[in-house]
Structure 1
């Protein structure tokens, strides 16, 4: 993905953070994709450690206004992952919905609800970034544009993701992270 548009990019502490807001749906939720690009080509694992150990890390490194962009290159990527989660949930102590004593009557509107239990739980995730934007799960989302142009900052910021980076999709009001991953070799997607 390349762009000459204004983007939400912050740059401090040897880290660039790109925020790509998705179009807001009918409710109040606000989803965004974040690309966290360390300056150091081998800085991915240090960044991951900071992100997991400092609760306000992303808030401290997020731009609230769009800035002028110089070079802007984000590789195409398509990542999908799935796994059967029943055994994992049972290991974490969640046994009730899987057994005969399960009561799913508030989830299922049927007289047969008393006899139901969970037989398996599967998880699938899908994220794609291409020239048109990003897609996550089965929902296509687009970047918002402001009606009036913001004032030009003194310089343009480059954002070229040509080395390992982290990405996440987050609901910004609750700060709940829905997807989190990393790209080790962005040049493979070219």
Structure 2
């Protein structure tokens, strides 16, 4: 998950404009592997839940897809009358606690001390997120969290 957090509390629109211009001139997949260096980061991310449901019939119609004849090659009586896409994202403290328990167990069992984070990344105002496939670089889900609990 990539988190886009502006410096200013209400700076997301400006960040989107700058990021859009930058990414149109940059291969974002190569950016993550070539220009960035590994750094220990402590991430403080609030719990959030995000979901969206889209009526794909309207999307297909805008794209010019003729749904009445889309399946006639299989059977003339088949028609698509409903297509819905729904996606949900949920992060919460249970996931964070589970990771912390694993880390604590590792520390106790192996007696290895984890290095202190070089950077503390606190997400405390509106942000955008992108979930992408690390192999293909494809964005699987994007969203904006405007209100934090």
TM-score higher than 0.5 = yes
Tell me, yes or no, if structure 1 residue 99 matches structure 2 residue 73.
no
Aligned with residue 83 of structure 1, among 54, 70, 80: 54
Out of 159, 163, 167, the position equivalent to 2:121 is 159
Q: Deviations over 1:39-97 (max 9, x none)?
A: 222221122223333233744367563x3235x310000111113220221122111xx
Q: Say if 1:41 and 1:34 are closer, same or farther in 2 by CA, change over 3 A.
A: same
1:43, 1:101 → 2: CA distance?
44
**Structure with the largest fraction of strand:** 1
1:21 aligned partner: none
- Which one has a larger percent helix, Structure 1 or Structure 2? 2
Q: Secondary structure at the match of 1:167?
A: strand
RMSD: 3.1
Residues 1:102 and 1:48: Cα distance change in structure 2 (over 3 Å): same
* Cα distance in 1, alignment partners of residues 40 and 62 from structure 2: 49
For 1:109-142, what per-residue CA distance to the aligned partner results, in whole angstroms no more than 9, with x for missing partners?
A: xxxx4532222110111000112439xxxxxxx9
The two structures have a TM-score, normalised by structure 2, of: 0.69
The answer for unaligned runs of 5 or more in structure 2 is 104-111
Q: Where does structure 1 lack aligned partners over 5 or more consecutive residues?
A: 1-32, 106-112, 135-141
Q: Does 1:128 align with 2:90?
A: yes
Question: Partner of 1:38: helix, strand, or coil?
Answer: coil
Moved over 6 A (4+): none
- Counterpart contact for 1:35–1:167, Cα < 8 Å: yes
Give me the whole-angstrom Cα distance separating, in 2, the residues matched to 1:82 and 1:36: 23
In 1, Cα distance between equivalents of 2:37 and 2:90: 24
Greater Cα radius of gyration, structure 1 or 2: 2
CA spacing shift, 1:152–1:82, aligned 2, 3 Å: same
Identify the structure with bigger relative contact order (alpha carbons < 8 Å, sequence gap 6+): 2
Match of residue 109 from structure 2: none
Equivalent position SS for 1:46: helix
